[in-house]
Structure 1
């Protein structure tokens, strides 16, 4: 790992000539600007500004390349790449204050992104370090970083949305405060579970938001409110996946059905589609985050008609009370969850540390996800077991269907050794297989089939959820029902498998 002594060569000059200059520049008025700082009235040199931003983007990419080289074991090349990236960051940051039109907050945004890279934090400190208990220390579980300590206190938790601090966009009004109370009281377990689920999927979902330059906190807020981080969640209205796309909207953003798999259930693809949707609607609503979230929940057509091209607040009575109660609740709930993601300790909230390093398990014997959950038990200290995590990371697999030996499954790295110890051979996999055989899906269909008579008000997703089936599409195929509506009518008899959750 890179040691603190290596970072010191970068941090001292950057703190003095780069970050300090940026924070000073950001807080100066025209009257107090002096030599070496761009005049606020000077003409903007777009070519020079764009060149600095290009250097910033290039340095950010090189830094991420250095992290990958560390993980692959190429220490020498990683050192060279990191030195080059940090030097370029230092030079570009220092020049920004001298160039009219250069936005220092954009540099802070990149620093914030890099600090949040999983297992990154500029690779500072030894393994096993924990974050200090400070209000803006962050929530990712990474080691404390000298970069965090070097940044001005007010900039430590900066996350931008189109050039604005996210904290400036989340108004602490009555609805958001009420939502904070809900998350901190009766919805607290859901918030914690959403955070844990997200951490295990973060390496798949966060890159799409980072690439779109969108705040990670908003991604978490949407996930927490929509599904709680359950990849296979399906709503009564037919919205599906961790970010709850309707079928038609999902198709519009590239989420189709491939080999019978609904890509709305794929966490990486759904995050990519969500980022594209947010980017599109932010442009439509002039970067108004609240209206964009309202469009995501209530439909962009409806919100667009209400706004009618005006610059208007989501909380304006003409907008707010014209939207469904669900949307009026949804927007502040997402914003409150995002705020808690950024500032948990301000609310006496401590998210659990999650060792979510990605890894793989290669099956040495046939097994289903359900069997693996049994034989893994509470490996790694996970009291509620691994079923949800394995389901989320392997969304294309039927959890009850045994996968052949040699199958490579996505799993947290902490499970690699646990699998070899508990599930490759011995008593536990035998027990798991014996329990699973009691509901073996390979038994004759006549023994497993059941029938259900549709009642008025039923939906296919509601029937599947109520009866404990795990896959809407399996039931739809059995009854020749077609997406996206899966139309059923009262009095119709459906064939169903003997469903188990």
Structure 2
């Protein structure tokens, strides 16, 4: 169902402002509230009227009565703001009651509009009738951005707004805010590769975002200390079980599309095992499905927060589940929490190189094109996961990049001073100074390797990229050439020569 365009820009921000007025009230002490006074009961009556007014506005919107819905909505929000502002100074007025209404209204609106009141801002910067974004991510049905159903249940009804989730919301809005914003930008460029797999399994997009935010921040080549790898952090054995293998030296856990497919299949499998209990499923993803099944037994309706379950979880899993749910909730309702995600044109594109260049050189010559102040290195890495960013790709090679950069590449990276500068920086030679008596120092390429080597025995689960992350000073191409590797392929038990780094 498609609703009038006006509702695509409907906001809960006025309601969020009203809730902000209650902050002082809610933090003003830990004493138990006294019995409500007559004045407090009058405010509660206004609160009930405002809530009913909001419901009426939604009903009018669904009926297509745009003007009446706007008037009803404005009156309801004004009434709620007025009542909430008076609560702190009214004896016996419980501010938590207002917060509960705020939470209920957020849940009430889920699924009622095609874009949702918050997600509508994603396309707000595009002119009416614009052809921008008609390929790639934007070619997916726009209405699917607001899909919040999980196996026929509203996702909002599955996210209990309890203490752990509220605490995680605060972390995402404060200490983790930078990571949340980076994840959002990274995801918008990867969306056209990752979202279809979730859509196929009938899983909500917000859940995919929440997992990615907690796992990797949208960094495709992320590797944890425990060996989990990729944007959704699969352990080696679990990855293999869901078809993530090493092919031609490339670990497909780093492939965004393949990783999303495997994650969606895993979530589908575990949701069935845990009777669509989302919290238990997320706990299994983090702490292991075997352990969760032993803890839960046959009672799949048990709450994750039941002491019998919760007290036996690791602290990591206790933190992980609410963090994922909180990130998913903010993905659906950013402006209701005074958060505004940037507009990102994530449509996919590509260029055929007109001169040899590495991803690092392209990053230099593209600069801050299209307003990306942090540069394009992360995005180029994410979209070309099989390429070593230091290795020059030949003329004629196809490089994936955001569509908005296709013209920038032609203007900045094919001729003129920028590609020359980028190549000069990339091929700079760094002298190596020995830290202890040793043979005369040698010079090396910019990666810092010397002519000395050491041996490394490949273990089960190793990838060439993972080994080089430990070395920290070489490239896939260099090690492949040192060991005569075919297609960068390695196998357990194989002894590799690795450069000794300074």
State the TM-score, normalizing by the size of structure 1: 0.65
Contact 1:217 1:338 in 2 (8 A): yes
Query: Any idea what SS the aligned residue of 2:218 has?
Result: coil
Out of 469, 472, 493, the residue aligned to residue 468 of structure 1 is 472
Change (3 A) 1:424 1:191: same
Structure 2 distance, partners of 1:117, 1:347, is: 15
| Corresponding residue of 1:234 | 223
1:337 to 327, 333, 341: 327
Tell me the CA shift for residue 495 of structure 1.
2.6
Quote the residue 1:213 is aligned against: 202
CA distance in 2, matches of 1:397, 1:422: 21
Q: Is the 8 A contact 1:109 1:159 kept in 2?
A: no
In the alignment, structure 1 residue 356 sits paired with structure 2 residue 359: no
Name which of 421, 426, 432 aligns with 2:422.
432
Distance of 1:120 and 1:180 partners within structure 2: 25
1:382 aligns with 2:372: yes
TM-score with structure 2 setting the length? 0.65
Report the equivalent of 2:398.
408
1:447 aligns with 2:437: no
Q: Report deviation, 1:165.
A: 0.7
| Residue 452 to residue 334, structure 1, CA distance change in 2 (3 Å) | farther
Tell me the residue number matched to 1:196.
185
SS of corresponding position for 2:450: helix
Deviation of 1:167 after TM superposition, in Å, equals 0.7
2:320 matches 1:317: no
CA contact (8 A) 1:363 1:404 kept: yes
Bigger mean CA deviation after superposition, 465-474 or 418-427? 465-474
Length, aligned pairs only: 375
**Partner of 2:156 in structure 1?**
167
User: Does 2:417 align with 1:417?
Assistant: no
Q: Is the 8 A contact 2:366 2:412 kept in 1?
A: yes
Aligned to 2:166: 177
Partner of 2:86: none
Q: Distance in 2 between matches of 1:318 and 1:484?
A: 45
**Alpha-carbon distance between aligned partners in 2 of 1:245 and 1:480, rounded to the nearest angstrom:** 29
- What does 1:479-494 align with in structure 2 at a 5 Å threshold? none
- Structure 1 residues 449, 239: closer, same or farther in 2, change over 3 A? farther
* 2:365/2:413 contact within 8 Å kept: yes
* 3-state secondary structure, aligned to 1:411: strand
Q: Distance in 1 between matches of 2:275 and 2:255?
A: 30
Corresponding position of 2:293: 304
CA RMSD of aligned residues (A): 4.5
1:452, CA displacement in angstroms?
9.4
Q: In terms of mean alpha carbon deviation, does 443-452 or 313-322 score higher?
A: 443-452
**Counterpart of 1:87?**
none
Question: Are the counterparts in 2 of residues 478 and 496 from structure 1 also a CA contact under 8 Å?
Answer: no
Q: Displaced runs of 4+ in structure 1, greater than 4 A?
A: 15-21, 107-113, 115-121, 439-446, 448-454, 459-467, 469-488
Aligned-partner SS, 1:447: strand
Alignment deviations for residues 68-125 of structure 1 (CA, whole Å, 9 cap, x no partner): xxxxxxxxxxxxxxxxxxxxxxxxxxxxxxxxxxxxx9x9699569x9899999x993
Larger RCO: 1 or 2 (CA < 8 Å, sep 6+): 2
State how far apart, in whole Å, the 1-side matches of 2:475 and 2:383 are: 16
2:128 aligned with 1:125: yes
Q: Are the counterparts in 2 of residues 201 and 267 from structure 1 also a CA contact under 8 Å?
A: yes
Note if contact 1:475-1:497 (Cα within 8 Å) is conserved in structure 2. Answer: no
Structure 2 Cα separation of the partners of residues 279 and 221 of structure 1:
16
Query: Aligned partners of 2:59 and 2:353: how far apart in 1?
Result: 53
Deviations 1:249-288 (A, max 9, x none): 1111111111111000000010011000000000000000
Which residue of structure 1 lines up, in the alignment, with residue 71 of structure 2? none
Deviation at 1:399, TM superposition (A): 0.6
The question of whether the paired residues in 2 share the 8 Å contact of 1:365 and 1:424 is answered with yes
Query: Unmatched 5+ residue regions in structure 2?
Result: 6-57, 65-107, 431-443
1:442-484: per-residue Cα shift (whole Å, max 9, x none)? Answer: 8999835555999xxxx99998546635879987997999999
SS in 1 for 2:386: coil
| Helix, strand or coil at the partner of 1:416 | helix
Which residue of structure 1 lines up, in the alignment, with residue 55 of structure 2? Answer: none
Correspondence for 1:48: none
Using the alignment, how far apart are the partners of 1:286 and 1:335 within structure 2?
Answer: 18
